[in-house]
Amino acid sequence: MKSVVVLGVTGSVAAYRACDVARELMRNGFEVRACLSRSAAEFVTPALFEALTGKPVLTDVFDEPVKGRMAHIDWARDARVLLVCPATANAIAVLASGASEDMFTTIAQASRAPMIMAPAMNPDMYSSIPNQENLAKLRDRGAVVVEPLEGEVACGEQGQGKLASVGAIVAAVLEAGYRSNLMAGRRIVITAGPTRELIDPVRFISNRSSGKMGYELARAALQMGASVALISGPVALTAPAGAELVRVTSAQEMKDAVLTAIQNADLLIGAAAVADYRAVAVAPEKIKKSGDMQLRLIENPDILSESHRARPELPIVGFAAETTDHERGAKDKIDKKGLFAIAMNDVSRRDIGFDANENELVLYFADGEVTLIQKSSKFNVAVAMLERIATRLSW
């Protein structure tokens, strides 16, 4: 099957230029399926796009080109890339808010495919604070915005608002299409969140970890076409659709789940904050308070080291949360745990890591390569990290 681009055309004067974009995408081997918003259909007709693409065009949420099949789900699943071209301020607002008011926005809600936005509108609308905030929200979730150009727009005013060139839009789709296939056929095992080591039925030892980085890695790997086993300690997050979620509590349980999951895996990523120690014995009843007490702890198994021992050829990527001497700490862990690479988080910074929604990482590879993954949303950091790892693995 050809790679499908679901093209959302929204109501800007530039709607006619979506025809050239559709043709150029088809010349590049994509199948283009168009959805027109009601206002787009005031500028261009469904018949025009049907003739150009050779595919049914959807305008209404209840359109059903294949009888008995829900088109919004079928198209959402078939899409390799979603493209909004041109994207009006309203379409951007609806997509940023997660609402669905027509066929395209409904498909976008149901799809895991990456989204490209090509805005076209009056310069004041484009630079308005709500529009810029909406675009920032979409970028944080991984959408790529092909910036409009400066010039004279349809209403006669000057400024940034003209639809980007066909070449720039097609290039962005090609890049997203390449990325969303980078891990096709690969199985990735990801650990996430903290572990909990019981002391008694109501108390435990744990680590600071929200699990966000691991969950975003899972979402990014799925978007790149991988199948994902997400082995998660207790967190307050919803697993991304399509991930095979294995819930665990203790480090021992996490280790068992990982050793099973990696048997047919192509990559293991350890993003979990595993508790280093557990109680020698878990008290069967709640321990009564009676002055100072001593707790005897023993060291937990190192999950990544054991995975390396079980499958020495499996590439393993770890995380290191350091506050000082980052490079030494990272390199020591590569050697000690038999890693392919390690992602270093500077946890002394408050703006990134732990509970934050953003992160910045330095990726150290065993062969000495050092790559900075610039500060961005954890999802975008996950995409950049996986892209580099996949490239280094020659996938």
Alpha carbons 306 and 255: distance in angstroms, whole number: 8
Q: Which of 270, 315, 338, 353 binds ligand C5P (CB under 6 A)?
A: 270
Write down the least CB distance from residue 179 to ligand C5P, Å: 24
| Options 13-21, 75-83, 156-164, 301-309: segment touching ligand C5P (CB under 6 A) | 301-309
Whether the Cβ atoms of residue 225 and residue 211 lie closer than 8 Å to each other: no
Q: Which two tokens stand for residue 137?
A: 């929200």
Write down the least CB distance from residue 278 to ligand C5P, Å: 10
Per the annotation, the verdict on 155 as an active-site residue is: yes
Among residues 61 and 259, whose Cβ is nearest to ligand C5P? 259
Q: Which of 35, 71, 220, 303 binds ligand C5P (CB under 6 A)?
A: 303
As a dihedral over the C-alpha atoms of residue 271, residue 274, residue 276, residue 279, rounded to 10 degrees, the angle is 180
By CB under 6 A, tell whether 387 contacts ligand C5P. Answer: no
DSSP string, 84-115: EEEE-HHHHHHHHHT---SHHHHHHHH--S-E
Whether the Cβ atoms of residue 376 and residue 383 lie closer than 8 Å to each other: no
Strand partners for 9 = 36
Among residues 91 and 272, whose Cβ is nearest to ligand C5P? 272
Among residues 319 and 395, whose Cβ is nearest to ligand C5P? 319
Is the preceding peptide bond at 86 cis, omega within 30 degrees of 0?
yes
Write down the least CB distance from residue 85 to ligand C5P, Å: 40
| Options 64-72, 95-103, 137-145, 318-326: segment touching ligand C5P (CB under 6 A) | 318-326
CB atoms within 10 A of CB 11: 19
Strand partners for 377 = 358
Catalytic residue of the set 19, 35, 85, 155: 155
Question: Contacts with ligand C5P in 147-206 (CB under 6 A)?
Answer: 191
Task: State which amino acid sits at residue 322.
Answer: E
Write down the least CB distance from residue 393 to ligand C5P, Å: 18
Write down the least CB distance from residue 207 to ligand C5P, Å: 9
Question: Contacts with ligand C5P in 196-255 (CB under 6 A)?
Answer: 251
C-alpha distances out from residue 251 to 182, 276, 296, Å: 31, 8, 17
Among residues 335 and 355, whose Cβ is nearest to ligand C5P? 335
Among residues 36 and 271, whose Cβ is nearest to ligand C5P? 271
CB atoms within 10 A of CB 158: 11
CA 26 and chain centroid, separation: 26
Among residues 21 and 257, whose Cβ is nearest to ligand C5P? 257
Q: Which of 106, 300, 376, 377 binds ligand C5P (CB under 6 A)?
A: 300
Q: Which of 274, 330, 363, 384 binds ligand C5P (CB under 6 A)?
A: 274
Q: Which of 126, 215, 319, 364 binds ligand C5P (CB under 6 A)?
A: 319
Alpha carbons 259 and 267: distance in angstroms, whole number: 12
Q: Which of 196, 278, 333, 378 binds ligand C5P (CB under 6 A)?
A: 333
- In the chain, alpha helices (H): 17-27, 40-43, 46-53, 71-78, 89-97, 103-110, 123-127, 129-140, 166-179, 212-223, 251-261, 303-310, 326-337, 378-392
Question: Contacts with ligand C5P in 5-44 (CB under 6 A)?
Answer: none
Residues interacting with ligand C5P, by CB under 6 A?
A: 191, 251, 270, 272, 274, 300, 302-304, 318-320, 333
The residues that are catalytic are 155
